[in-house]
Amino acid sequence: MTIEVRVPQLPESVADATLVAWRKRPGEAVARDENLVDLETDKVVLEVPAPAAGLLKEIKLLDGATVTSGQILALIEESASAGAAAVSPTAATPTAVATATAAQAAAPAAAAAKLSPAAKRVAEENKVDPQTVVGSGRDGRVSKSDLVNYLQAKDAPAKAPLSPAPPLAPSARGARQEQRVPMTRLRARIAERMVQAQATQALLTSFNEVDLHAVNELRARYKEPFEKQHGVKLGYMSFFAKACVEALKKFPSVNASVDGNDIVYHEYFDLGIAVSTDRGLIVPVLRGADQLSFAEIEKSVANYASRARAGTITIEELTGGTFTITNGGVFGSLLSTPIVNAPQSAILGMHKIQDRAVVIAGQVVVRPMMYVALTYDHRLIDGREAVQFLVTVKQCLEDPARMVLGV
């Protein structure tokens, strides 16, 4: 019995997806619920599981194709077992032989399609099958340097690796290489939203600095019992999330958005927490952050981050949000001006914690300091509100008891 593999129902906000890569080839055995192909949307990578066990009979669309909900991707021969893939040539049916031949022919073609123009030229000139080369690029992509290294290793004498590599010829020293690859859907979407935000909003950034001495003392004092009781480390993000919620309550315009000529005041606090992945920056949303405990925030952030990097986060978890926090400090950034995640009206940027000399009560002391930045839409938020918002965040972090007492 032949089973159709179709594109799953995409969310209403997603019109189509791009077929990124097949995980199986025609003629290979597949297990039920095994991932067959990855589809990339503007926000996440979706896995398409096999609806039944059997053999992958036919692939309808190749890598790079644009697909929509319900479109047929492949056919599975349900009655075939995993052992059928090893049928001897004498016992194989014409259909099986044709399928296997097509699979063998499609493999080099699929690999060649992923090559850059420079790499493809090297492969064609030297008659190299890309399938035989181990790629060092993303998703195993074979680059020109991979092919050159492969050819050198192939042509070198058996003892050549023990000898120093010969110096490059003058022409090789001056060689300049480049690769041209299309943007992923996520990267293209990020670019579109960033340009849109700067083109449609009146963006301005205000700065302040926070003394994290009190937060560090709390983390050091309760680090072990907190992790033992809740099974998660007590990080900085829960403190900043709580501080932002307190500030948003005092300044509702920072938690609002502009819709045409209307201002939409959100009476809930859904915080977006920016997460960096290999595919780009995505922003999972903490729903009802004002109702979450420190432990729940830390668990949610850790869960979102791991699933975002694994590509298993859902589109629903990335939609919405009334305010965003981004932390460039994990990469060493000392100061930056983050761009608002439209249609939101503001974003808080965290930065690197650095020991600096500050004056407290007339004495010069060394304290762990962090610059914080608030980029906001000046159409909706005045400078006074932006500055006072940052001051509130600063006060909450420098005196964490405020967040417990609500003062």
Q: Which of 101, 90, 82, 88 is nearest to 26 (CA)?
A: 101
* Residue 343: cis peptide before it, omega within 30 degrees of 0: yes
CA distance 39 to 108: 21
- Gyration radius of the chain's alpha carbons: 27
User: Residue 104 in 3-state DSSP?
Assistant: helix
Residues forming the active site: 378, 382
Contacts of 161 (CB under 8 A, 6+ apart): none
Provide the residue type at 254 as one letter: V
| Rama region for 280: left / alpha / beta (φ>0; ψ in -120 to 50; rest) | left
Helix (H) or strand (E) holding 232: none
**Nearest CA to 335 among 206, 223, 220?**
206
Residue given tokens 């070198």 in the structure block: 156
DSSP at 322: S
Bridge partners (DSSP) of residue 357 are 366
- Tokens 């990469």 belong to residue: 331
